[in-house]
Amino acid sequence: MPLVYAPSGKSREYSPLACNIYLSCSHKCKYCYAPGALYRTADEYFLPPMPRTDMLAKLKAELSEEKYDKQIMLSLIGDLYCETVDRNHAARVALRYFLEHGAPVAVLTKGGERCLKDIEILSKFGHRIQVGASLTFWDESKSKQWEEGAALPLDRLETLKVLREKGIKTFACFEPVIDPAQSLAVLKKSLEMDCVDTYKIGKLNSYNGLDRNIDWTIFLKKCLALLRWEKKNLYIKQSLRMAAPSVELTNAEKDPDLYNTQV
């Protein structure tokens, strides 16, 4: 299987193409789907990752053979900027390869300011990159409870602010939504800080049945009221659309690829 691949199912909403630099993660998010997808136990998956064997050489060869004009998400498994054994060296080299070959990429991370060590490389992509953060809680104690090894919410927002001020497009993924009040609180803070260009809003999956206790219609309407007023780029994920079918959305709000990076 090539390192750059076309994701399917729910993962396809993130990007038409993806590349996973690491195959484990130190963030220890309780809701993470990756251990199950990789047929690993939590203890086998939630640890600082090593670079994949020969990954960089294979990636360089792949990029030399193939021209990519669709957005490549880094990463859908693991996190480019979790705490890694190689101190994110493989991530840095991979970014250089994508830059050299003119590929459009998106980086999604809960690592906060860890990505700023590569801001010089990120800045060189110009319009061919966007960097995003998954946002779940505003309360730091809840964030630590659910995402033990990830950066705190304010760190993630402040990092997006720095990136945006450097001219790098930013996005935020509100998924999973575990506590709608908390998601709305961090959403409001992001608007106050003016640090996000594009918002992608989803819901909670069936984790422990918690999603059945949430009125998704009310949650979606509150998100729309805030983001439409601010005229933000907005995509509503299919899972949330299906959970709140009475809410009318524009075609743009239902298009997963509208705000992707382009060549």
- The reported pLDDT for the residue numbered 252 is 98
| β-pair type (17-19, 4-5) | antiparallel
Q: Model confidence over 38-65: pLDDT tens digits? A: 999 999 999 999 988 899 999 999 999 9
Q: Does position 116 have pLDDT exceeding 70, yes or no?
A: yes
**What confidence score (pLDDT) does residue 210 get?**
78
pLDDT of 213: 85
Instruction: Name the amino acid, one letter, at 11.
Output: S
Q: 8-22, 139-153, 199-213, 244-258: lowest mean pLDDT where?
A: 199-213
171 pLDDT above the threshold of 80: yes
CATH 3.40.50.980 assigned to 4-254: no
Residue 157 in contact with residue 249, Cβ under 8 Å? no
User: Each residue of 214-253: pLDDT tens digit?
Assistant: 999 999 999 999 999 999 999 999 999 999 999 999 999 9
Instruction: Give the confidence band of 84 by pLDDT, cuts at 50, 70, 90.
Output: very high
Residue 110 has what pLDDT? Answer: 97
Ranges 1-5, 36-40, 116-120, most confident: 116-120
Q: What is the mean pLDDT of the chain?
A: 95
Rounded distance between C-alpha atoms, residue 159 and residue 107, angstroms: 13
Residue-level pLDDT at 65: 95
Domain borders along the chain are 4-254
Cβ neighbour number for residue 122 with a 10 Å cutoff: 21
The pLDDT, as a whole number, for residue 206 is: 66
Backbone angles phi, psi at 203, to 5 degrees: -145, -170
116 versus 53: the higher-pLDDT residue is 116
**pLDDT of the residue at 132:** 98
The pLDDT score that the predictor gives to residue 144 is 97
Q: 201-212: per-residue pLDDT in tens? A: 999 876 667 778
% of the chain with per-residue pLDDT over 90? 92
For residue 93, the 8-state DSSP code is H
Cis check for the bond before 75: say yes or no (omega within 30 of 0).
yes
Q: The pTM is what?
A: 0.95
pLDDT computed for residue 35 by the predictor: 92
